[in-house]
Structure 1
Amino acid sequence: MTDDTETDSDSDSNPNQNESTDKQLISGWHGRYYEDFDVGDVYKHPFGRTVTETDNVWLTNVTMNLNPMHFNEAYAAETEFGERLVDGTFVIALAVGMSVIDVSVNATANLGYDNIRHHNPVFHGDTVFAESEVVSKRELESRDHVGIVETELRAYNQHGDLVLSLERTPMVLKRSHAEPSAAEPPGWPEGIGTQPEDC
């Protein structure tokens, strides 16, 4: 009787022990394809990114930007801003990078960046957020596997101030030519990691 009681107790403490533990490949986010874009849609890109002094100094040095506003604190302290400004090209690269997850994971080319405007400065410690609005889209007679999507990218700081806007025009793959799968998402070579036959 004691043994039976212990067996029942063990079973009750683990109610899921008889459930199947079979694994399966599940598709994650594969990005938008040309067919997924509609004019007027706005995508608020996930996560903000706090800009550090290291970000600013590193990019300024790597790109040989010799404006002391970005790397000379004594000089910057005497300007109207009172401190160093984050290199504008870093802000552009950050905002564009943040938009990739929603706009250009499946782009085959970026055709241009136009009407770039810095509306407010970005300082060390500011957090940048970005969103993209679909302005237009069109198919190409010369290429039936892609279409052109024009977006307006806008970036804000933690106070809600607009710090950057630009127009970005990627050429995006059509879903019918992409053949996305759980086993081979964007960027994965064939045969790497868990495969359907492993499940």
Structure 2
Amino acid sequence: MTDSDSDMNEHADSEGRLVAGWHGRYYEDFQVGDVYKHPFGRTVTETDNVWFTNVTMNLNPMHFNEAYAAGTEFGERLVDGTFVIALAVGMSVIDVSVNATANLGYDEVRHHAPVFHGDTIFAESEVLSKRESDSREHVGIVETELRAFNGEGTKVLSLKRTPMVLKRAHADPSAARPPGWPAGVGTQPEDLADDGSGTDE
């Protein structure tokens, strides 16, 4: 019997089960001083910049007029700074605010260096503080500093953002119903084994 035959038989004999994926952090999971390096850097394209600039009606020719930009100190078009903010915040959601009920504010936004077409952006978040909400018992308030870098390691952006994040007990996450899924959609425990082994939290 070959290794592949053995693997196939092993798979055929195994029970199907629902396995919980990443559900994001809940309020209790945040610790002051922790740094989350967010996965998947993202290369910024010319299309990103032109599309975002046009959609948001940013009329500064630095972002869409190559002839104009060539005459500036940068010598080429710059990526719209608000796109860089949106990209970095989006990259942080997987670790910081999948379970947020609201973002309370964005503060101390700083562009430290320009971003150009073709730059690859990476982002990380540091937990600065956390506290219970005074008005809502089901959430806590987490303050983070978000930092973005280009592929050479130059910091291009920093900002503080403060999401209001669900507490775990109020979210009641499960393998069958992760964040964002309606009840009953997709594979359910009863579709698999009946002996209680159909889920793996």
| Residue 190 of structure 1: aligned partner | 183
Q: What's the CA shift for 1:133?
A: 0.2
Alignment partner, residue 51 of structure 2? 58
1:20 CA drift (Å): 1.7
Question: Aligned equivalents of 1:140 and 1:105: distance in 2?
Answer: 18
Distance 1:76 1:61 in 2: 16
Query: Between Structure 1 and Structure 2, whose CA radius of gyration is higher?
Result: 1
Alpha-carbon separation, structure 1, partners of 2:78 and 2:134:
45
Deviation at 1:22, TM superposition (A): 1.8
DSSP-derived class of the 2:18 partner: coil
Corresponding pairs, count: 188
Q: Quick one: distance in 1 between partners of 2:74 and 2:162?
A: 33
Runs (5+) with no aligned partner, structure 2: 193-201
Quote the residue 1:15 is aligned against: 6
1:141 to partner: Cα distance:
2.8
RMSD, aligned α-carbons: 1.0
Which residue of 142, 155, 173 corresponds with 2:135? 142
Post-superposition, which runs of at least 4 consecutive aligned residues in structure 1 deviate over 6 A? none
TM-score normalised by length of structure 2 = 0.91
Partner amino acid, structure 2, of 1:171: M
* In 2: Cα distance, 1:49 partner to 1:130 partner: 10
Within-5 A mapping of 1:24-173: 24-173=17-166
Identity level (%): 80
Q: What's the TM-score once normalised by structure 1's chain length?
A: 0.92
| Unaligned runs of at least 5 residues, structure 1 | 1-11
| Paired residue type of 2:6 | P
Distance 1:100 1:32 in 2: 10
Q: Structure 1: which amino acid aligns with 2:98?
A: V
Q: CA offset at residue 129 of structure 1?
A: 0.2
**CA shift for structure 1 position 140:** 1.6
- Give, in whole Å, the separation in 2 of the partners of 1:88 and 1:41: 27
